[in-house]
Copies of this chain bind each other. A is one copy, B any other.
Amino acid sequence: MMTSPITLDALRVLDAIERRGSFAAAAESLYRVPSAVSYTVQKLEEEMGVPLFDRSRRRAALTDAGRLVLEHGRRILLATDEMTALARQSGAGWEVELRICVDTILEPDALYPLLEAFQSIQPRTRVVLSEEVMGGAWDALHDNRCDLVIGAPGEAPVSGLASQQLGEVSLVFAVARGHPLTGMPQPLSAEVLRDYPTVVVADSSRSLPSLSSGLLDGRSQIIVPTIAQKIEIQHKGLGVGYLPLHRVQRQIAAGSLEILALEVDRAPVTLSIAWRSGRQGKALKWFIERLCAPGMGAAFGL
């Protein structure tokens, strides 16, 4: 199929003609001589094989085909302008899109002021937020489904990723007030726990070795998609399990959740921010710099 011979310049000329009402006025606004405008239009018509103007009267009037080309042409011009802006932005080092992934173990609230500040200095970079659970964040980074993760647990499971510690989160074994386990002698043994369903946050990892949540097999489980739902369910006494201390401070203080000691207690988990090493855009750098600032862990409640 013959490729379209159109020229963007011709579309701009067409736009100017319609906008200004005449070839002469268009020529003026384009800083050209009228005959140049006439020439461009004729060439466009010849190339398209279709008359774009009806010249039977004094003022050239658009034909149906001409109007069609004008209207589609304006959209095309808009698209090229937009593309140019995006490319310039990309060339200047600002990503067109930055995908940030927050592990559900963190509440994303501390991120919002950062986002706001970022948007005010660089509104053209689209920021896409997502949530992942327990190692899914590492996975998303590795699979190039995101560019920056906040709150990834432990160490990077593959190379090629860079990270920076954000803080530690203590995991406490908590049950609802009045739960049968609260009456048992502490520290609790594994056998005692076996009688109660454990609430597990689904690990959304896909291609990396799954980080198990360190729970023994053979117990009944309740699988939930987010930490928030896990807290909710444990709070209602439907199941037991480890919860990040900073997310349940309030319930502990109110007594509606109780911390129990286990024979083998879990070590605190280190949470990090992480990104792919190598080329970094300005937006990524901006976020990394701010997230590495002292006190950022505290901002996230760690």
Q: A48 contacts which of B68, B69, B73, B88 (Cβ < 8 Å)?
A: B88
Q: In the assembled complex, how far is the CB of residue A178 from the closest CB belonging to chain B, in whole angstroms?
A: 58
Are the C-beta atoms of A68 and B88 separated by less than 8 Å? no
Residue of B whose beta carbon sits closest to that of A71: B83
- Cβ of A56 within 8 Å of any chain B Cβ, yes or no, is no
> A79-B72, A80-B76, A83-B68 given as contacts; is B6 within 8 A of A50 (CB)?
no
**Given A83-B6, A84-B48 in contact, is the A91-B65 Cβ separation under 8 Å?**
yes
Question: A96: CB under 8 A from chain B?
Answer: yes
B86 lies within 8 A of A68 (CB): yes
Q: How many copies does the complex hold?
A: 2
Q: Are B50 and A83 in contact (CB under 8 A)?
A: no
Are the CB atoms of B68 and A87 closer together than 8 Å? yes
Number of interface residues of A (CB under 8 A): 37
State whether B87 touches A48 (Cβ < 8 A).
Answer: yes
A75 to B80, CA, bound (A): 10
A90 to B64, CA, bound (A): 7
Across the interface, which residues of B come within 8 angstroms of A50, CB to CB? 87-88, 90-92
Contact A84 B51 (CB under 8 A): no
Chain B minimum-CB-distance residue to A81: B4
Q: Is the CB of B87 within 8 A of A65?
A: yes
Residues on the B chain within 8 Å of A6, using CB: 8, 80, 83-84
Closest CB in chain B relative to A61 CB, distance in Å = 13
The listed residue with most B CB atoms (<10 A of its CB), out of A9, A12, A91, is: A91
A77 within 8 A of B: yes
B76 touches A90 (CB 8 A): no
Distance of A183 from chain B, by nearest CB (Å): 61
Could you jot down 24 A-B contacts, CB within 8 Å? A3-B12, A3-B77, A3-B81, A4-B8, A4-B81, A4-B84, A6-B8, A6-B83, A6-B84, A48-B88, A48-B91, A49-B88, A50-B88, A50-B90, A50-B92, A52-B87, A64-B90, A65-B88, A65-B91, A68-B83, A68-B87, A68-B90, A72-B83, A76-B76
* Chain A positions near chain B (C-beta within 8 angstroms): 1, 3-9, 12, 48-52, 63-65, 68-69, 72-73, 75-77, 79-84, 86-88, 90-92, 96
Given known contacts A4-B83, A7-B7, A65-B87, what 20 new A-B pairs fall within 8 Å (CB)?
A3-B77, A4-B8, A6-B83, A6-B84, A7-B8, A48-B87, A49-B91, A50-B87, A50-B90, A50-B92, A51-B91, A52-B87, A63-B91, A65-B91, A68-B83, A68-B96, A72-B79, A75-B79, A76-B80, A76-B83
